């Protein structure tokens, strides 16, 4: 019997990172305040997890101005989407193995 737990991605062990990637998987691009509102966590908490995902090249960040206001938005990279799908597949395999 295969040990599927080894296929889980440690980057997604945090519920905040899991939430960020879940949001980015179903949206082409999402800004900081939308992520904050959906996850109900602090700015600093989001920023640290975004930074970790960016270092892994799982998300890309776009900074721009809308009028005179700065706006930061995020999108999942192809590498990030692939890693997240693999993580979900590993979770599904664990569930199937348990039945």
The rounded distance, in Å, linking the Cα atoms of 93 and 46 is 29
* CATH number of the domain encompassing residue 77: 1.10.10.10
* More confident: 48 or 66: 48
Q: How many domains does the chain have?
A: 1
Write out the residue range of the structural domain in which residue 74 sits.
4-98
Q: pTM for the complete prediction?
A: 0.89
Name the burial class of residue 8, with classes exposed (0-12), middle (13-18) and buried (19+) by CB atoms within 10 angstroms of its CB: middle
- Average pLDDT score over residue span 51-80: 94
- Average pLDDT score over residue span 36-63: 95
The rounded distance, in Å, linking the Cα atoms of 54 and 47 is 10
pLDDT band at residue 99 using 50, 70 and 90 as cut-offs: low
């Amino acid at each position: 019997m295969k040990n599927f737990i080894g296929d889980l991605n440690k980057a997604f062990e945090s519920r905040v990172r899991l939430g960020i990637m879940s949001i980015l998987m179903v949206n082409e691009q999402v800004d900081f305040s939308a992520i904050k509102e959906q996850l109900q966590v602090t700015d600093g908490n989001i920023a640290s997890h975004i930074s970790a995902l960016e270092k892994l090249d799982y998300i890309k960040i776009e900074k721009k101005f809308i009028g005179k206001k700065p706006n930061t938005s995020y999108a999942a990279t192809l590498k990030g989407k692939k890693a997240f799908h693999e993580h979900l597949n590993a979770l599904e395999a664990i569930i199937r193995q348990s039945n």
